[in-house]
Structure 1
């Protein structure tokens, strides 16, 4: 019998499958939500309520209609792909930090009587994470990717400011904070060699 190791997929394939699977999940949930007369939307984050705590877990998976989901689809595919490209474990850790910081921040700070949902909190977090991680890692390629992303998507970051009604700037803000925190916590700065 041969003891051949199973062939490992290239990182870009794993990242593509991961980001694609996440977006497919978002679309499937929106199909279910639309067929259920948008009853799933009540599982978004309702600030400072007991039921709203569940929203911390579910809100990034739910969207307020097809246009909302369409607007988040391409950024989710691109940014999550780049987050997972440098390692699935680290990408999932970064996503978990962003998810929790965004959800808890919205639950604590957003206006009463509102419901917040959508993957944009993750999108803002992934963007900030990708822009900052290269500086913490002191990795030239990651810095260049961050600069390019900032040039392409940087204007989006103005969404952390209060603005258009019906847009959760709080989700954007705390997602971005979560992305910065993830870049810091998961960064691997080179240790300076001690001179003896």
Structure 2
């Protein structure tokens, strides 16, 4: 299967990031417009009522700064996911939200945990580790791009700041790693040259036959079988001239 059948532009590359960003901004707009606070719909660890936050917490943000900090990474990583892992993208999103949310519910501090950052860590972790595991040059390059742009996020899976849900970040990071290990994603087979194949035999290579053991070019006097020959026919005129 050729690479362009796997890595190609589709509507999802634009629509998925757009819908994700629109969803979190719409929820925040509703909160501001109607004076509502949805924080109570976040994940509250080890409380049955807090389980509703597994589905709802990614859409809830505490401030404009919190919302803005999550918007660009969510859009960029979602676009990466739907371009390079199109067939697995929806599963990564659904499983990522559920598993990371449940893990946060189990390990987090007693507080309401909100925000899309857990999902962002799922996406960054999955894209990085899947590229490394796949060993396809484009996916490995994508992993390096993610590290270059968002590598500093790694610090926030540790309790470096009191008001940040590092537990949600850690849960997302672990979830992305597990999904990269377990989800089967087809990647294009890289085209190999004849000399890269395991059954390659130098003696059968028509090009190498033009060189001796010391690497010197061997001139050959053999004419090609399909050599084009040009023959000229001269017609005499009435006076016998050619």
Q: What stretches of structure 1 of length at least 5 have no aligned partner?
A: 1-9, 191-196
TM-score (norm 2): 0.70
State the superposition RMSD in angstroms: 1.7
Instruction: Give the equivalent residue in structure 1 for 2:19.
Output: 21
Matched, 1:170 2:187: no
Distance 1:136 1:187 in 2: 11
User: What SS does structure 1 have at the residue aligned with 2:161?
Assistant: coil
Matched, 1:139 2:136: yes
- State the number of aligned residues: 180
Distance 1:132 1:50 in 2: 33
Q: 1:152 to 1:87 in 2, by over 3 A?
A: closer
Q: Residue 159 of structure 2 contacts residue 166 of structure 2 at CA under 8 Å; is this kept in 1?
A: yes
C-alpha distance after superposition, 1:139-187 (max 9, x if no partner): 2101111012112211111110011111000000000011111111124
Matched, 1:126 2:95: no
Deviating above 4 A after TM superposition, structure 1's stretches of 4 or more consecutive aligned residues are: none
Structure with the greater alpha carbon radius of gyration: 2
TM-score (norm 1): 0.86
User: What SS does structure 2 have at the residue aligned with 1:153?
Assistant: helix
Match among 36, 39, 54 for residue 37 of structure 2 = 39
C-alpha distance after superposition, 1:6-31 (max 9, x if no partner): xxxx6344211111111011100111
Q: Residue 85 of structure 2 contacts residue 185 of structure 2 at CA under 8 Å; is this kept in 1?
A: no
Structure number with the higher helix fraction is 1
Bigger RCO of structures 1 and 2 (CA < 8 A, at least 6 apart): 1
Distance 1:56 1:46 in 2: 9
Q: 1:35 to 1:126 in 2, by over 3 A?
A: same
Q: What stretches of structure 2 of length at least 5 have no aligned partner?
A: 1-7, 188-242
Matched, 1:94 2:99: no
Instruction: Give the equivalent residue in structure 2 for 1:156.
Output: 153
